[in-house]
Structure 1
Amino acid sequence: IESEVTFLQGILGIGGEAFGTISFACENKQQPFTDDLLDESMQGKIVIGGARMTGKAVSRGIEIGVAAMISGGIDDEDLKEILGYDLGVAVTGSEHIGTTLIITEGFGDIAMADRTFNLLKEREGAKAAVNGTTQIRAGVLRPEIVIPLEHKTSPDNKTRQVNSAGILETGVPVRIIRDPYFGLLGEVGEMPTELRTLESGSLSRVLEVILDSGEIVIVPRANVELIEG
């Protein structure tokens, strides 16, 4: 089975697969996702926040019966309270808390990235499927948001998408997945062919990432992941 979709990945997820209509709780990406923004009309929906998702918001979402909640950040203490234990380094997705959570940027008061928020906003009201499964170690898995497109793209556009999919090259959007720039989004700039010496003393291939803020940083190529869709 094949389908053309909008595809987004987060940083961390809790809970497994869920399905519903995309609904927005926050008006902009900087607005915290608080419990007072949720109401009964969101039952069974995939609710989009902006910045930090509070523990009270998660509790309210579970009470209402929302299918999933997505926002930029979450406090690690709130997450510990929701789960009843420290997450640590593990595979997530098997939790049964009553909803699925997806964090797009990281821990703390972090706003959702412009690109992510705007793309979801464009698909407000569409049906979507999400999966919170996350694996940080070998065989990295990221939480996923999949939104089927109502209309097929043109053959030329489809060919362009297929040709560029999965290829790390100048201009493609990426997310940095290691400190000190963990969770930041940008696009690939220059990709030097020579090996560079890292702070650890090891040699590695690197690339430039032009962050959404305009800042240019240099990171090992292994420290980024493609943002597809």
Structure 2
Amino acid sequence: MGYAYTPGLKVTDKMLITKKRILPLKGDVLVKVGDKVKPDTVVARTLLPGNVEPINVANILGIPPEDIMDCMLKKEGEKVKHGEVIAKSKSFFGLFSSECKTKTEGSVESISSVTGQVLLRGNPIPVEIKAYLEGEVMEVYENEGVAVSTWGSFIQGIFGIGGETHGEIKIVTKDNTEILTDKLIDKNCKDKVVVGGSLVTADAIKKAISLGAKGIVVGGFSDKDLRDFLGYDLGVAITGSEELGITLVITEGFGQINMAEITFDLLKSKEGQMACINGATQIRAGVIRPEVVIPVKEDVHKKEKTEEFENIGLTVGYPIRIIREPHFGRLGKVSALPPALQKLESESSARVLEVEFEDGTKAIIPRANVEMLEE
């Protein structure tokens, strides 16, 4: 029988999820192994060096660079306040003077008598890392961070924007085919993770932000609306750092695409429970996918049944999504895996599979044009 490995998205009702929460620089870890944590629990913190601001003191005072040391009122390492005079020069027998004031608060990093510049280092920037999940600290990395584990449902998306957040799941569409419009968003969506069907409109997102919704999980989104929403064209980069007031997770792709029924049914069965979502996406090497995690209270030390989650590649009966035209976005199951290469319309040869769509029709698809839905 034909056999191939194909990329896939996880849609799992229950699995052990572990997330490493690591500081950008070494700092202090505030929890220990075995501690129970909530999504907002701060597990580690550190101080990042402040921004550097160069000041051309020699130019401001109108003196040669080599004379800067005689005019400085502050030495290297000394603290300065915003608007404080750090250098002063006098001219014409002391009748006239020039001053150089700071535009930031921090300390004097360096003074150069070659360039006549002074570098000011802003105050350290505090950084806190939160647990993100509701679970238990399984491992501590000294001065760096922790690993937090929880049992729960896990759903991967295709694309997302916005960072980590959490809220109670609220289903607002009748089924996975309905469009999420602004009429379905009301004051009851405040602090909720709103779940829609096939598409979310730009007006719905704006209304959700104004009412204080935490996130939106939906099948599709228009690329034009995305561009208008962000205010710029999104290139090949990592998303998730956007500060738009909401996190968006797209489960299927761009355009009006019905959310996979297994995904919608799973979210619907968890309505009212807390979901932790993250829109961070990277679509090049080192793939990062947006995700929805729905924690359940269960012993994280219980062993996971590896056979349930072992990826053995495509097999007959496996659920898949088509990721290329002319059947882009359609869902179905593998009905046959011909082992021999077959000639395509492009006259190239490739390994193919037969897919049976949800309406019972069948089609021959190149294996590279499908994505597995890992249940």
Q: How does the TM-score come out when normalised to structure 1?
A: 0.84
Within the candidate set 47, 54, 62, 2:209 is matched to 62
1:92 is aligned to: 239
- 2:313 is the counterpart of 1:171: no
Which deviates the most, 70-79 or 106-115?
A: 106-115
Note the residue ranges of structure 1 that are not aligned, 5 or more in a row: none
1:216 is aligned to: 362
* Alpha carbons of structure 1 residues 83 and 185: separation in structure 2 relative to 1, 3 Å: same
- 2:350 is the counterpart of 1:204: yes
* Alpha carbons of structure 1 residues 137 and 204: separation in structure 2 relative to 1, 3 Å: farther
Deviation of residue 119 (structure 1)?
1.7
Which deviates the most, 49-58 or 211-220?
A: 211-220
Residue pair 1:9, 1:227 contacting (<8 A) in 2 also:
no
2:327 is aligned to: 181
Task: In structure 1, give the amino acid aligned to 2:206.
Answer: S
- C-alpha distance in structure 1 between counterparts of 2:346 and 2:242, whole Å: 36
- C-alpha distance in structure 2 between counterparts of 1:145 and 1:17, whole Å: 10
2:177 is aligned to: 30
Task: In structure 2, give the amino acid aligned to 1:108.
Answer: G
Deviation digits for residues 136-172 of structure 1, max 9, x if unmatched?
Answer: 34444432222234568xx9x9454134x35322222
Which deviates the most, 141-150 or 18-27?
A: 141-150
1:125 is aligned to: 272
Residue pair 2:154, 2:294 contacting (<8 A) in 1 also:
yes
Deviation of residue 121 (structure 1)?
0.7
Pick the structure with greater CA Rg. 2
- C-alpha distance in structure 2 between counterparts of 1:142 and 1:69, whole Å: 15
1:41 is aligned to: 188
Secondary structure at 1:19 match in 2? strand
- C-alpha distance in structure 2 between counterparts of 1:136 and 1:200, whole Å: 26
Secondary structure at 1:95 match in 2? coil
Task: In structure 2, give the amino acid aligned to 1:105.
Answer: E
Deviation of residue 82 (structure 1)?
0.6
State the identity %.
49
Q: How does the TM-score come out when normalised to structure 2?
A: 0.54
Note the residue ranges of structure 2 that are not aligned, 5 or more in a row: 1-17, 19-148
Task: In structure 2, give the amino acid aligned to 1:37.
Answer: L
- C-alpha distance in structure 1 between counterparts of 2:151 and 2:348, whole Å: 41
Deviation digits for residues 93-119 of structure 1, max 9, x if unmatched?
Answer: 232211111222333333323222112
Task: In structure 2, give the amino acid aligned to 1:82.
Answer: F
What root-mean-square deviation, in Å, do the aligned CA atoms of Structure 1 and Structure 2 show?
Answer: 2.6
2:341 is aligned to: 195
Residue pair 2:337, 2:354 contacting (<8 A) in 1 also:
yes
* Alpha carbons of structure 1 residues 111 and 96: separation in structure 2 relative to 1, 3 Å: same
- C-alpha distance in structure 2 between counterparts of 1:192 and 1:178, whole Å: 20
Which deviates the most, 116-125 or 102-111?
A: 102-111
Higher relative contact order (CA 8 A, sep 6+): 1
Secondary structure at 1:5 match in 2? strand
- C-alpha distance in structure 1 between counterparts of 2:374 and 2:325, whole Å: 22
Deviation of residue 24 (structure 1)?
1.2
Secondary structure at 2:180 match in 1? coil
Deviation digits for residues 27-68 of structure 1, max 9, x if unmatched?
Answer: 222322112222233222211012321111111111122221
Residue pair 1:24, 1:47 contacting (<8 A) in 2 also:
yes
Residue pair 1:72, 1:104 contacting (<8 A) in 2 also:
yes
* Alpha carbons of structure 1 residues 126 and 166: separation in structure 2 relative to 1, 3 Å: farther
Within the candidate set 177, 197, 216, 1:50 is matched to 197
